[in-house]
A and B are shown apart, each in its own frame.
Chain A
């Protein structure tokens, strides 16, 4: 099995630091009193700060995609795990590109491509970035890359672009599935 380069980055600051940005912007509208009750059913305690709104989240994803293509080549495939949906906010055009797939549980797809092709494949887990008090998450972004040069390390690709998030490299076990000899696949893809 091909091993992946991996890293985890902890976002620590709103990208528009010192500016008042509504974090609830473009979330699902609550029309009735009952909607607030429906939402509160699943309220949970989470001390992790809400750092971004949906617009800033999409900008972050778009920036990461651009950085990946700049660093690894324009042919690089990107599989990004995202938390959706957002209401009344279109995805940036580069995230609708055929080289990009957005969804949940995409790690096996990333492994499929990593074995299938010789060109770079990058998996991003960005679904744990909080955009609303309703969200779970820890503001960690996990990244794995295959078929890429070993140097520079992949965190060095991204950290300059994430300076405005005060991003820090973080130790995380989430990458075990990409670096051990037995992938945690639920089935084998042909």
Chain B
């Protein structure tokens, strides 16, 4: 695929928050997630229950949820293909949390959260602000070697990120989604981060967790003075959860604050990228590994 411009105009700094984060939590999952003897049905139920536990813990007090979406990179195809096992996964979530996800996607890999925000914002155009429960679920019930890590993204980190985000229709310039060839993906993410951040000076920037060589290549493309601290060594590449883990790291260190804005970004191995300006609500609830 040739390089192409992003599917949104070059953004400028807006005044209305488009994406206000009210809840941000991450929990690492075990590797392997289930033992090889576990049946596919039981594996689907086990992952569904874990996802539901996180939703219960962090979204039950979040008020009415308009949209509930699960996004993933490594989620087994059997849990997102309309099969009975996909149904077990859904039912396990519904049984424990009281509601199953409206839809699930592993089509957009690590950038799924950006595509979901774009979609929810299009719904908000009609009914006004929508409250989204988004869970980024990356645990491989098959324990395939490929997902444990490779020279593309380094070592992997598996877990469940739970986000409650208010999506407002007014600000249309807070999200950029684009695509490029795999070979140029890092460069294109960097160039788009440059154009996105130039009009947003001083905002913290969360980038994907990559090995040092990839991080250095990305950093040649834009002013990195506001980039968050790297947590690759601690968490590994955690797929679509990376920028949110990065934010949790900053909040824990006291270098990001509720009520402030920052920039989050992700890159998919097939060359898609998502960049967004998000606002941390003044009453933000956040937790890393269960610790508030």
- Which residues of A does B touch, CB under 8 Å? 28-32, 34-35, 37-39, 41-42, 81-85, 87-93, 96-98, 101-106, 108-109, 112, 116-117, 125, 127-128, 135-137, 186-187, 189-190
Contact = CB atoms under 8 A, between A and B. Distances in A.
Contacts of A117: 126
A41 B40 contact: yes
Given A96-B177, A105-B103, A112 B123 contact: yes
- Residue in B36, B123, B145 with the greatest tally of chain A CB atoms within 10 Å: B145
Interface in B124-175: 126-127, 142-146
10 contacts: A28-B144, A37-B36, A38-B142, A39-B144, A90-B272, A96-B115, A96-B177, A98-B7, A108-B102, A187-B99
A38 B36 contact: yes
Given A84-B106, A103-B104, A127 B177 contact: no
Interface string B45-84: 0000000000000000000001100000110011011110
B108 interface: yes
A103 B40 contact: no
B292 interface: no
Contacts of A30: 144-146
B147 to A, nearest CB: 8
Contact of A91 (B107, B126, B146): B107
A32 B36 CA distance: 15
A85 B102 contact: no
Contacts of B83: 136
A137 B84 CA distance: 11
B109 interface: yes
Given A97-B7, A112-B123, A41 B94 contact: no
